[in-house]
Amino acid sequence: MPTSAETADGTASQRCEPYLRGDHMTSGYNKVPVVRDVSVQVGIGEIVLVMGPNGAGKSTLVKTVTGKLPLMSGRIIFAGEDISSMREETRAARGVGYVPQSGDVFPTLTVTENLEMGGYRMKPKEVRDRIEEIFALFPTLRELRRRHARTLSGGERKTLGICRALVSTPTLLILDEPTANLAPLIASSVLHQVVESLAGAGTALLLIEQRVSLGLEVATWGYVLTDGKLRLSSSADELRAMGDLSSLFLNAPLEVA
């Protein structure tokens, strides 16, 4: 169900009903705030891109949503439920999936064994059935099922890392720098072929991406963070139309490829 959201120029733009909603979130480390009064939302089938220079608070925001870091103030609503005080593992069981920038696969395990690790909370038959579903969605992984993760290409490893998170059937998937260290063509393939297909299947996606131009190719909405504060919230179409986003990052280094 679409809702109205205010864009950078004050006009209204239609968005999906929020499935994840973080309201006025403040969090950090050792009682020192890093992210301050930040509000974000993600709807089913949306790809929401969070941008910002290094040190902007993107990783802190992710850790706050997953439950790795506690809220200092604000609240998080997920699937109509207040999960603000829930532990990280409880949020994962509720359907919050997370793929880190690194360490998303076990190099010494095969593709199939990696996927099995993604279903460690599930019954064996459920895991087998879910892996077959994933192989049907990503046939290239089926062909690689007996290969050890360490022998895969960068794009194949990232696809495996994402699919390992999908075994538990998350309804929200958070991707932290999924194109990091990937060649441009492979990075584009991961976003267009993997991430877009997940959104099309009804997954809510929160994407942290340093390659802003590439991320905006698949995103539906974007947030710009600087110094732990929300600087801009706007549709991806409007952000693409702006052309040069460097001014939003306060002259901080920005990878646009």
Between CA 69 and CA 196 the distance in angstroms is 28
pLDDT of residue 120: 87
Q: Which residue(s) pair with 204 in the sheet?
A: 172
Statement to judge: residues 2 and 90 lie in one domain:
yes
- Look over the chain and give the mean of its residue pLDDT values, rounded to a whole number: 90
* Residue among 224, 162, 232 at smallest CA distance from 199: 162
Cβ within 8 Å of residue 110, ≥6 positions away: 145, 146, 147, 148, 149
Report the CATH number that the domain containing residue 88 is assigned in CATH.
Answer: 3.40.50.300
Clarify whether residues 82 and 198 are in a common domain.
yes
Of 48 and 247, the one with more pLDDT: 48
Query: In terms of residue numbers, what domain contains 144?
Result: 103-169
Residues 89 and 113 in one domain: no
Confidence of residue 57 (pLDDT cuts 50, 70, 90): very high
pTM exceeds 0.75 for this model: yes
Question: Which residue carries 């994962």 as its tokens?
Answer: 92
How many domains are contained in the chain?
A: 2
Residues 70 and 178 reside in one and the same domain: yes
- 81 and 207 co-located in one domain: yes
pLDDT at 102: 86
> Do residue 84 and residue 177 come from a single domain?
yes
Same domain, 77 and 5: yes
Report the alpha-carbon distance of residue 101 to residue 63 in Å, rounded.
Answer: 13
